[in-house]
Amino acid sequence: MNPIDYYRPYYPRFSNAEYQRRYRLVREQMAAHGIDCLVVTGSPGMNAELMADVHWLSNWNHTAAPGFVVFPYHGDPSLYFGLVTYRSNAGQRSVIEDVRPGTSVARRIHELGLGSGTIGIVGSFPHEVLAELKEDAPQARVVSAGEWFGEIRRVRSAEEIEWLRKGARFADIGLEAMIKAIRPGVTERQLYAATMHAVFDAGGQFCFQWLGSTPMATPLMAYPTQAPSDRVIEKGDIIITEIAASYEWYAGQINRYVAVGQEPPEEYRRLHQHTVHLVKDVCASLKPGAVAAEVARAAEPLLKAGYHLEVMAIGRPTGGSTPPVLPVTPPGEFFQRPFLQDETVMVLPLTYKEPDRLGLFLGDLVLVTPEGGKSLHGYPLEEFRVV
C-alpha cells in the first residue's frame, strides 16, 4: 500500500455529496459570470483561516505555505500545495486527486486550453504568482471572483454545522480546562498550556487563545492580550479569555471571564449584567433578513447606561462575507446585506467602563435561525464564574 492510501482514512472529510454540492454552486456562479476557470488562493497564517477557501474546495490547508486550487468550469480541479515536502500529506488529505507542488498555476491553465479565457481569482494573491499568470497567459482576462465566492460560502450545510458544533465543543473543553487550572501562583502561560493540552487531548485542533489578567480592584486591562505573559495570577484578579478550537478547521469560538478567589466588585457585576443582556438581544435579532444596522440597536441600553462598546459581532469562522455589526453601523451597501439562515456569526461584544482598564468580553459562535441566533456552545452565558 502506498503512503497516501494508508494514511488517508485517518483524516476526516465531508461526504462526496457535500463536495458535489459545493462544486455545483461554484460552477453555477462561474457560468453566471462568464468565468472559464477559477484560481483560489490561500495564505499562511494563524490557525489556517486564510486558507479557508482552498480548504473548502479541497479539504487541504496549511499554516506555513501558500496553496492554490485551479478549478475549471469543464474538467477536474488541481491543488497546488507550496513545498514539495508536503506532497504525501496533501495527497492524504485532499479530495482533489491532482495534487502538485509549487505555485505555477499558469501552466495548468495552459494545459486546460484556457490561456485566452476568463480567469476568476479568489483571495489575496501573491504578487509574483499573479504577475506570472499575466505574463504566461497575456491573452487571458483576469477578473475578481471573491465576492460571489464568499457569498456562496456563507450558508452552512448540515454537514458543516455538525463540524462546527464539534469545534464549539472543543472550545468549551479548553475553557473548562483553563478554569480548573486557575489558582493563585500559576502564570498566564500555564493557563494557556492547560487550554491547549485539553483541546488536543480531546481530539480537537487548538486555533488560538487571547488571555489576560488584571486586579479587579485596580483594573488595567479591558481586552485579553494576544500573547500570554509571565504574570502570576493572584487572588482578586479577573481573567478574560477568548478561545478558538476546531474540528478539522471548523472552529468554535467562546469568550468568557473568571474572578479569582472572591466575588467581583459592583462595577464589574453591573457591566456583566448589561453585557449578558446585550449578547442575548443581539442573538435574538440575528434572524434571516436582518441587517447589521437593525442588530446594532441592541447596543442602545448599554450605551445609555454610560458604558462603551466596540465591535458586536463578526462573520465566523473559516471565511465568508458576513457584515460586521458595529455599535454605530456605517452607511453602505455592505452593511445592508441581510443575514441568511444557517450562516454563522461570532457574537463577541467588548464592553468597557474605561478603555484599557475595566472591561469584559463575552460571546459565542451562533447559528442564524428563524428564532434568532442559536449558540453552538454548551457553556453557560449568564454566570460570572468565581474560582
The predicted-structure confidence for 230-282, as pLDDT tens digits, reads as follows: 999 999 999 999 999 999 999 999 999 999 999 999 999 999 999 999 999 99
Question: How remote is the C-alpha of 138 from its chain's centroid?
Answer: 36
Distance CA 259, CA 387 (A): 6
> Does residue 55 carry a pLDDT above 80?
yes
**Strand 374-375 and strand 385-386: pairing?**
unpaired
Cell, residue 318? 473559516
- 27-44 mean pLDDT: 95
Q: What is the pLDDT of residues 202-231, one digit of tens each?
A: 999 999 999 999 999 999 999 999 999 999
Question: How remote is the C-alpha of 15 from its chain's centroid?
Answer: 22
- 190-197 mean pLDDT: 99
Average per-residue pLDDT in the chain?
92
Cβ-Cβ contacts under 8 Å for 74 (sequence gap 6 or more): none
136-145, 321-330, 347-356: least confident range:
321-330
- 79-89 mean pLDDT: 86
Q: Which CATH superfamily is domain 3-153 in?
A: Creatinase/prolidase N-terminal domain (3.40.350.10)
b/e 258-275 (16+ beta carbons within 10 angstroms → b): bbbeeebeeebeebbebb
**Predicted pLDDT at 320:** 47
pLDDT grade for 319, boundaries at 50, 70 and 90: very low
pLDDT grade for 362, boundaries at 50, 70 and 90: very high
**Predicted pLDDT at 49:** 76
**Predicted pLDDT at 264:** 98
> Does residue 318 carry a pLDDT above 60?
no
- 39-49 mean pLDDT: 80
How would you class 84 by CB atoms within 10 Å of its CB: exposed for 0-12, middle for 13-18, buried for 19 or more? exposed
Supply the pTM of this predicted model.
0.94
Question: How remote is the C-alpha of 224 from its chain's centroid?
Answer: 18
**Predicted pLDDT at 310:** 86
- Cell 486550453: give the residue: 113
**Predicted pLDDT at 361:** 96
How would you class 254 by CB atoms within 10 Å of its CB: exposed for 0-12, middle for 13-18, buried for 19 or more? buried
Full DSSP string of 256-291: EEEE-SSPPPHHHHHHHHHHHHHHHHHHHH--TT--
Q: Tell me phi and psi for residue 36, to 5 degrees.
A: -85, -30
Distance CA 229, CA 231 (A): 5
Pick left, alpha or beta for residue 311 (phi over 0 → left; psi -120 to 50 → alpha; otherwise beta). Answer: beta
**What are the start and end residues of each CATH 3.90.230.10 domain in the chain?**
158-386
The count of C-alpha atoms lying within 13 angstroms of the C-alpha of 76, restricted to the half-sphere facing its C-beta, is 8
Give kind and range of the element (H or E) at residue 164.
Answer: helix 158-181
pLDDT grade for 87, boundaries at 50, 70 and 90: confident
How would you class 293 by CB atoms within 10 Å of its CB: exposed for 0-12, middle for 13-18, buried for 19 or more? middle
Is residue 196 classed as helix, strand or coil in its secondary structure?
helix
Q: What is the pLDDT of residues 88-105, one digit of tens each?
A: 989 999 999 999 998 789
> Does residue 321 carry a pLDDT above 60?
no
Of residues 321 and 139, which shows the higher confidence score? 139
Amino acid found at 57: L
**Omega cis (within 30) before 317:** yes
**Predicted pLDDT at 16:** 98
Cβ-Cβ contacts under 8 Å for 143 (sequence gap 6 or more): 33, 35, 118, 119, 120, 121
> Dihedral sign, CA of 207, 288, 18, 100?
negative
**Predicted pLDDT at 47:** 65
- 10-24 mean pLDDT: 97
- 317-337 mean pLDDT: 64
Query: What CATH fold (topology level) applies to the domain 158-386?
Result: Creatine Amidinohydrolase (3.90.230)
**What are the start and end residues of each CATH 3.40.350.10 domain in the chain?**
3-153
Distance CA 263, CA 275 (A): 17
- 101-123 mean pLDDT: 92
**Predicted pLDDT at 317:** 46
Cell, residue 180? 480548573
